[in-house]
Structure 1
Amino acid sequence: MSTHKALLQDLLQQEEEIQFSHFSNELALEVGLALLKDAKTLSKPVAIDITRNGLQLFHFAMEGTAIDNGEWIRRKNNVVNRFSHSSFYIGTSLKNAEKTLEEKYLISSQEYAAHGGAFPLIIRGIGPVGTVTVSGLPQQEDHELVVRVLRQFVEREKQA
């Protein structure tokens, strides 16, 4: 099995595991602040965005980020909203197929970024309702930061 195929299976498993029973505005604030706290331990600046049903619930750009981080967030979110998978999953899928977004889906890379960092906000039994996104680190690290923090909140919800 190619490394891309194994990674794709892992990424699908993450999407299966990281689902909430509900996601309130207050929870968005908690998740956003947890992402910020985790990012600070890395000593690298990131921009963080949480959007549900088109409404931006949390957005913060650390000192050292740029307007480009906001553009990356917008383009990564477009990928999640179109495909209902993490932007890292779609990017890995394209690498596996040896295709670009333009070649496979006839969509512009100016509007869509299949790079890690945007994860679907999934409500169990409903499906994707938004995005949790980080921009500023290498794409796999962006993705891992989001997954690490979201897992903590899903685990907390299970224990409640």
Structure 2
Amino acid sequence: MTGLIDELEDQERRLVFDAFDEQTAWTVGVALRDAGLAAGLPIAISIRRNGQELFHAALPGASADNDGWLARKSAVVDRYGQSSLRVGETFRVRGGSFDADSRLDTATYAAHGGAFPVLIKGTGCVGTIAVSGLPQLDDHKLVVETLDSILGQSTV
């Protein structure tokens, strides 16, 4: 594979919760919102568990288009159980593109960085933490850095 895919796989191995409830979603969401506000980022944030949105915020400069991206990127995580960036990168490394080769409706799915799986130890993927409004690598990085901070781990 590639160094990026190895790094993304490592992030998914490391960034695992013992449990994930409404309070955890709030803690993660507020941390993302605070980071976005501090940096003046025009982002929208969504945190979902088992199809239920537990947290949503739109910062100055975000638009309804960002909400569409949040839903489409989160749908990729729900389907594959991996970060939306990892799914898209896997298609690229294999010489294809997600949009052309996944056979999924691009109005519903977007394999662009910014949605990360909510992974619970011993259970697996139960939801998504997603950011939209920045270039895809920056959306992904913001989520990962925030999770690293909350889970007390350093970034790769």
TM superposition score category, shorter chain reference: over 0.9
Give the CA deviation at 1:42. Answer: 2.2
| Paired AA for residue 9 in structure 1 | D
| Greater helix share, structure number | 1
Identity of aligned residues (%): 40
Question: Structure 2: how far apart are the matches of 1:62 and 1:83?
Answer: 28
Structure 2 residue identity aligned to 1:85: Q
What amino acid is the match of 2:32? L
Q: 1:85 aligns with which of 82, 87, 90?
A: 82
Q: Does the 8 Å CA contact 2:81/2:125 hold for their aligned counterparts?
A: yes
* Length-normalised TM-score, structure 1: 0.91
Q: Which amino acid letter does the alignment assign opposite residue 83 of structure 2?
A: S
1:104, distance to aligned residue in structure 2 (A)? 2.7
How far apart, CA to CA, are the structure 1 residues paired with 2:4 and 2:21?
31
Q: For the Cα contact (< 8 Å) 1:101–1:108, is it kept in 2? A: no
Give yes or no for contact 2:92–2:98 (8 Å, CA) kept in 1.
no
Task: Kindly indicate whether the alpha-carbon contact (under 8 Å) linking 1:28 and 1:57 is maintained by their aligned counterparts in 2.
Answer: yes
Q: Which amino acid aligns with 2:39?
A: L
Structure 2 residue runs of 5 or longer lacking an equivalent are none
In structure 2, C-alpha distance between the alignment counterparts of 1:18 and 1:141, rounded to whole Å: 18
Identify unmatched segments of 5+ residues in structure 1: none
- Does residue 139 (structure 1) correspond to residue 122 (structure 2)? The answer is no
How much has 1:45 moved relative to structure 2?
1.0
Note the C-alpha offset of 1:41: 2.5
1:52 aligns with 2:49: yes
